């Protein structure tokens, strides 16, 4: 399958890139700084500014699917604005390109707790990632209105970070709008298995026009 991966140099994007290549997909990897991309055979790398819509459309219009692992940068003081703007621009380019399948890696903050509240609105939600998590939630609310694309929005486990990563189990359980918890009441997934879940959905779509989440 011909896949364009946006944000391919990031923490999650780089894992998705490797998973796609390992499964034999044809990949065009898009990143702001392609020098950060690993040198992998059969991967076409392209440096693009997502603000340049025409160039972006031209870069993706031959794809079967676009996967966005875009992130505005967790240390970015304008993270909310940049994440939301960037996500909207990527979606716009996908619509204009004529590509129908669009998979977005979002955040866990928009998942709901047992009381029906979104985690990002909780008093104990980490302040350093709240702008990005809020932007991801607000973008998801926008994406749900898109009637043109066959979109899927992925929310990772509540504990998905460098400390839970470094291993690929290749197995996970899925849910929709609430976290998947283990017997210890924790929601954990490695970045490597986020990539497995994303590429599984690419190859065998189960969550078209839906959000899903995954954890061990």
Report the percentage of the chain scoring pLDDT > 70.
100
Mean pLDDT of 171-178: 97
The pLDDT assigned to 144 comes to 97
Place of tokens 């894992």: 15
- Of 13-22, 27-36, 131-140, which gets the smallest average pLDDT? 27-36
Looking at the structure of the chain, the number of domains it has is 1
> pLDDT at residue 34 above 90?
no
104: tokens are 């977005």
> pLDDT at residue 151 above 80?
yes
Mean pLDDT of the chain: 94
> pLDDT at residue 36 above 90?
no
Report the percentage of the chain scoring pLDDT > 90.
83
* CATH number of 75's domain: 3.40.50.720
The per-residue pLDDT for range 82-105, each reduced to its tens digit, is 999 999 999 999 999 999 999 999
**Which pLDDT band holds residue 166 (cuts at 50, 70, 90)?**
very high
The per-residue pLDDT for range 183-198, each reduced to its tens digit, is 999 999 999 999 999 9
Range of the domain at 164: 2-215
The pLDDT assigned to 100 comes to 97
């Amino acid at each position: 399958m011909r896949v364009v991966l946006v944000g391919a140099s990031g923490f999650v994007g780089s894992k998705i890139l490797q998973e796609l290549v390992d499964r034999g997909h044809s990949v065009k990897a898009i990143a702001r700084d392609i020098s950060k991309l690993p040198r992998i055979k059969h991967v076409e790398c392209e440096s693009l500014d997502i603000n340049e819509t025409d160039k972006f459309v031209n870069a993706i219009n031959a794809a079967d699917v676009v996967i966005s692992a875009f992130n505005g940068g967790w240390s970015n003081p304008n993270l909310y604005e940049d994440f939301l703007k960037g996500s909207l621009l990527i979606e716009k380019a996908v619509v204009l390109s004529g590509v129908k399948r669009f998979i977005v890696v979002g955040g866990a903050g928009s998942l709901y707790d047992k009381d029906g509240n979104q985690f990002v609105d909780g008093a104990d939600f980490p302040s350093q990632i709240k702008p990005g998590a809020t932007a991801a939630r607000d973008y998801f609310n926008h994406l749900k209105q898109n009637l043109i694309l066959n979109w899927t929005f992925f929310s990772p486990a509540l504990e998905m970070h460098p400390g839970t990563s470094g291993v690929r189990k290749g197995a996970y359980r899925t849910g929709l709008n609430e976290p998947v918890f283990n017997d210890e009441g924790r929601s954990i997934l490695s970045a490597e298995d986020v990539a497995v879940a994303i590429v599984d959905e690419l190859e065998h779509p189960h969550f078209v026009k839906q959000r899903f989440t995954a954890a061990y």
